[in-house]
């Protein structure tokens, strides 16, 4: 299956506002791409355009050489002729059909012979581990099992492109975790190209091979999950990806307190234009004796929040409240004064765009980070 490409794609539902603006995006063959962003950023609209359920207002959508939409060329291929499988948040199973019959339904529509229908339905149900419940009815299954049946129904048709819109949002935390692992396994086993819409950054980080972060109808960054986490292209991505979020401290033009301390440190180590903002991830803010090269300040412990395997500490650093996340026990109580330090800062310019590190090959031109807002 060749790559899916969107070129100059825009969508307006009328009234002058654009749900998606001039989107250029390539989904490589076999990718598990997550479209990630806050509510209303245009993720679902993008997915529905790929599916053919919405027509773009401008641009082209193609799979390899096959053009599916071309506004300029007056071309539009309807959903049923695109050969893509769809699962939406509100999946619906037929209540009066057994699980097996539900999964066979799509194959029946495609006039697949009975024996083949049966074996393909069984194979799909085995893949999602619901084959033991094949002869039951949807009402006899848990929400998570029903969700898997909806997936099996799509997988039985064997589409080479799967389009999923928040398919895990109706599940409880434990099932979501289980289904993330299942989806990853299904992706690896089937070799299908997956486009997955979510507003949950953890879902995207854990499952995707590529993440496209959108905001306000525009692509903010396209990168592999850990690249995006390590080198967010701009302030929006930096704050959206990661939990607890990165602290971003504005430092210009006449900073005081923590901002002044950070600016002094970055200016002493760089010949470049000073940053307009400095970001520090909670796990990069360490407590204890700092190495000589690290930025450090005294911090007043305000609260210690143990969570079994991690410790979140609320600190007051000069004039600013910050969070440190530790994966080793923190022996401190409110009122203690500790040294906090870091060697990992993210610098942003006045437009909120990442300033690449001078001494790091990680921020090189080979970086997969494509876009900055
Ligand atoms: N059928 C429609 N008619 C008019 N406006 C729409 C329609 N569908 C979406 N929109 C608008 O387009 C914008 C993008 O919506 P979209 O559903 O694509 O965002 P989203 O990122 O998927 O959000 P959510 O996570 O809330 O589903 C929003 O401002 C939304 O109100």
Q: What is the mean pLDDT of the chain?
A: 90
pLDDT reported for residue 372: 36
Q: What is the pTM of this model?
A: 0.88
Q: Which two tokens stand for residue 205?
A: 């980080």
Whether the pLDDT of residue 373 is over 60: the answer is no
Ligand 1, atom 7, residue with closest C-alpha = 13
The protein residue with its alpha carbon nearest to ligand 1, atom 31, reads 40
Ligand 1 pocket: which of 15, 19, 47, 240 to mutate (most atoms <8 Å of CB)?
Answer: 19
Nearest CA to ligand 1 atom 8: 45
DSSP 353: B
Q: pLDDT > 90: what percent of the chain?
A: 68
138 Cβ neighbours under 8 A, 6+ residues apart: 93, 94, 95, 99, 102, 146, 149
How much is the pLDDT for 283?
A: 96
**Structure ipTM over 0.90, yes or no:** yes
Pocket test for ligand 1, best of 9, 40, 43 (most atoms within 8 A of CB): 40
Distant-in-sequence, close-in-space partners of 112: CB < 8 Å, separation ≥ 6: 120
Statement: residue 279 has pLDDT above 60: yes
pLDDT at 365: 40
* Nearest-CA residue for atom 24 of ligand 1: 39
Q: What is the dihedral of CA 356, 286, 202, 311, to 10 degrees?
A: -170
**Residue whose C-alpha is closest to residue 214's, from 245, 243, 240, 244:** 240
- Residues facing residue 316 across a β-bridge: 300, 321
The answer to whether residues 156 and 103 touch, using CB atoms and an 8 Å cutoff, is yes
CA distances from 250 to 259, 263, 328 (A): 7, 10, 30
């Amino acid at each position: 299956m060749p790559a899916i490409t969107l070129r100059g794609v825009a969508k307006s539902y009328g009234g002058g506002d654009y749900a998606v603006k001039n989107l250029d995006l390539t989904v490589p063959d076999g990718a598990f791409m997550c479209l990630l962003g806050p509510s209303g950023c245009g993720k679902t609209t993008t997915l529905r355009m790929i599916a053919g359920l919405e027509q773009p207002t401008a641009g082209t959508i193609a799979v390899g050489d096959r053009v599916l939409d071309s506004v300029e060329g007056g071309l539009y291929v309807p959903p049923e002729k695109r050969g893509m499988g769809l699962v939406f948040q509100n999946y619906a199973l037929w209540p009066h059909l057994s699980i097996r019959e539900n999964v066979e339904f799509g194959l029946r529509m495609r006039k697949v012979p009975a024996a083949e229908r049966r074996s393909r339905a069984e194979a799909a149900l085995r893949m999602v581990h619901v084959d033991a419940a094949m002869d039951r009815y949807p009402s006899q299954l848990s929400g998570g099992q029903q969700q898997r049946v909806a997936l099996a129904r799509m997988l039985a048709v064997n589409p080479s492109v799967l389009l999923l819109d928040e398919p895990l949002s109706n599940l409880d935390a434990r099932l979501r975790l289980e289904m993330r692992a299942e989806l990853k396994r299904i992706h690896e086993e089937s070799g299908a190209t997956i486009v997955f819409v979510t507003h949950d950054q953890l879902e995207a980080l854990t499952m995707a091979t590529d993440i496209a972060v959108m905001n306000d109808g525009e692509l903010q960054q396209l990168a592999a999950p850990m690249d995006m986490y390590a080198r967010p292209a701009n302030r929006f991505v930096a704050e959206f990806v990661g939990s607890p979020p990165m602290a971003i401290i504005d430092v210009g033009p006449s900073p005081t307190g923590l901002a002044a301390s950070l600016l002094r440190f970055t200016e002493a180590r760089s010949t470049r234009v000073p940053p307009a903002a400095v970001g520090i991830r909670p796990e990069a803010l360490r407590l204890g004796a700092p190495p000589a090269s690290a930025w450090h300040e005294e911090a007043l412990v305000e609260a210690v929040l143990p969570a079994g395997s991690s410790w979140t500490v609320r600190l007051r650093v000069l004039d600013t409240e910050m969070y440190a996340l530790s994966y080793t026990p923190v022996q401190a109580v409110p009122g203690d004064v500790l040294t906090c330090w870091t060697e990992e800062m993210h610098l942003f310019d006045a437009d909120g765009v990442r300033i690449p590190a001078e001494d790091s090959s990680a921020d090189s031109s080979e970086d997969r980070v494509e876009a900055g807002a």
